[in-house]
Structure 1
Amino acid sequence: MPIAELFLSLHKHRTSADFSESTISELDAIASLFPLNFDETGNQIKQILEKRYTDGISGFKNVKVEGSKIAGIFYDIVSPSLTKSFNFTILVDDETAKKYKPSMSEDEANEYTKNSFTGNLSFYHGNSQSVVDSIKTDGAIPERNDTGMYGKGFYLAASKDEAEYYALTRSGQDTAVIASKVNVKNPYVCNSQDIQDLKDNLFKHLGDDNSSVVTEYFKAKGHDSIYLQDMGYFVTFDTKQTVTYSEDKRTVQQSEAIASSRPSAYTIDTLGNAAKSDTGKKLLKANRSN
């Protein structure tokens, strides 16, 4: 099973990692793994292991989830004639695992986010019904959003209307808007122009495909999310930061009827509506980040 598929829902704090030397020596099979590209989620597992095994990891094999632990084999190809292989086990913090669920009741969501920067404020995400179903089942996974104008992550609006505008762009599909709470500690609070200036000044040489770099830049500065005060948009960086507690469904016919009575989702008249919502107004009081 690919690492990305295996670890999509396992964004949990670990408590320890243990190793024991293995006697496996399948050099032909190992060679077939390369070049191997660890995806963002697989990299989290790689980074955990390399805090204990500092020589560097070349590949994984037979990785499985067993209750509250992740176990498997990792390889270190030292030279064409020498490959080290180790069994590994990562123990998951059971308390953290128990607390996080992609979907909760509103009371559970309030408890989960009670110490968040945003308190118990609600945010909204609109999309096709199939995407919303996957969010409710697997979680709000930032890695599934390949692009993002203000950084790579999972996007939420402070206004339900704004989220519905976005859902209505999914023409010919059943749509839904989900209400969510976010559990963040240190968002980068700014306006949209601040992000654009950053991209123009520091990342312009990367072209338009620089959303991941923006996110990594803020992570390196100790931020776990972005909040755009002028837009009323939240961008979360980690799956377990977002939990959903309710859903408003629309059939194709209902979506088309609503769309015909409203302006386009991204006209100058609708941009910033989220910032004017009750949630957006409350967050206007937040201090801007330096």
Structure 2
Amino acid sequence: MQEKMADKNLTLLEEFILLGFSELPDVQGLLFVLFLVIYISILLGNGLIIVITNMEPALQIPMYYFLGNFSFVEICYTSVTLPRMLMNLWRQKRNISLLLCAVQLCFFLILGVTESLLLVVMAYDRYVAICKPLSYPLIMNYKMCVQMVIGSWLIGIPFLTGQTYQVFSVPFCGSKKLNHFFCDMPPLKKLACRDTSGDEFFIYIDCFLFGLIPFLLILLSYIRILSTILKLPSTTGRSKAFSTCSSHLIVVCLFYGSGFIAYLQSKSSYSGRTDKVFSLFYAVVIPMINPMIYSLRNKDFIEAIRKLFSKYVSKE
């Protein structure tokens, strides 16, 4: 009789309650303002990169073409989670339907994989530019650049759509409370009421395909880049090459480091508080600091901003 009632309760599950930061009731308003400022800065910072890389003739090269696309992905990536989180903080109404939760997770995973693959593409671009400079215009032609960007967007879609279906095909039981600020895979696994070890295997496969392999490819690219840079006779040349690559390398370490920690933990070792911290890092903090990392460390980009600002002021 109890089993029948449990099955009935499972079929009636239509929504989750995103706990978010409900354990901090006294600072909900402050958190709303903080994350609103962060979201606006993400939109403005990454939007500025898109505008500059498209308007400035000096930046019409593959490196900045990929950077503009990466910034667009960052805007989409954060827009999947932050507006909903802001609405929950403002209205104090944290419920989300099962369908919307699945849609949010699916888009979050697809955009995360797109970002991961674009980081590989950007590393490959730097590898060709530094290690094969004479062949660079031939290899990194416009058609190749467009194909790599489209591939980064499309490759993960069938895998991640299937992964999302697999996550939501598992019955959920017990509390409807999701100890997170958006529908992410680790807290959803925690609420599953059957053994998810088989599902975790497929999650590890996806992490291997779209996380570990891209990371190793980037690492291999930078080993070759470093070897080439150290052979350069000019100190100025070495300094410029290091400066060009260091920004990308910082983003790679931050993105993959926090993502691996969050997704490679088992269901039994899951900690809601720890996972929220790392999720905030790769879903909110990194997209916020990326524009600063790429622009403030890049003299060409700073010069392009100065030119655009000068044109705007002269028109006034």
TM range (shorter): under 0.3
Structure 1 or 2: more helix by fraction: 2
**Structure with greater strand percent:** 1
TM-score normalised by the chain length of structure 2: 0.23
Give the TM-score normalised by structure 1.
0.25
Higher RCO (CA 8 Å, separation ≥ 6 residues): 2
